[in-house]
Amino acid sequence: MQEGPARIRATTILAVRKDGRAVMAGDGQVTLGETIMKHKASKVRTMYKENVLVGFAGAAADAFNLFERLEGKLESYSGNLARAAVELAKDWRTDKILRKLEALLLAMDQDHTLIISGTGDVIEPDESVAAIGSGGPYALAAARALVDHSDLDAVTIAREAMAIAASICLYTNDQISIHELEE
């Protein structure tokens, strides 16, 4: 059986809120098929006057396009993340070219944590943690346990949960970057 083009797999992005702190962590691995192409990619960035953190999972070129569009929406709606995310999701779902983009976004500000998809979904999880990417379920499970059953702070929880995900998921490495929103 002939295989199609190598599929890009990459990433674990994790958002954690605890004790008034909001942090987002991302690993650095980029994989093409069965080959690790990069170890220290930056998959989380700040937006709108450093009041919003956004991470991506999926094709990098698609994610950069979405980052740009989300940043434009944030500017248009004066930093209102919920409104910007809904408008981005509407465009993403209805635009012929955007519909083909293969990525997920995880975005957070001081008030909201949102998962934004190309199917028009804008999901605000009930829990204080959220994750996307191939290692997302592992990081999410670890972070939930640590938030609920430890006295660790948000940064430490993110670091530990990402380390657990990196030890399980082939497409996640231990080159973790952690970003925190200022209060």
Residues noted as catalytic: 11
User: CA torsion, points 109, 112, 116, 122, in degrees to nearest 10?
Assistant: -150
Helix axes 60-76, 81-94, angle to 10 degrees: 130
Whether the CB-CB separation of 89 and 122 falls below 8 Å is answered with yes
Structure tokens at 154: 């948000």
Burial class of 77 by CB neighbour count within 10 A (0 to 12, 13 to 18, 19+): middle
The token duo for 104 is 């997920």
Residue found under tokens 């943690």:
129
Nearest CA-CA partner of 146 in 136, 157, 133: 157
Cα separation, 147 vs 127, in Å, equals: 10
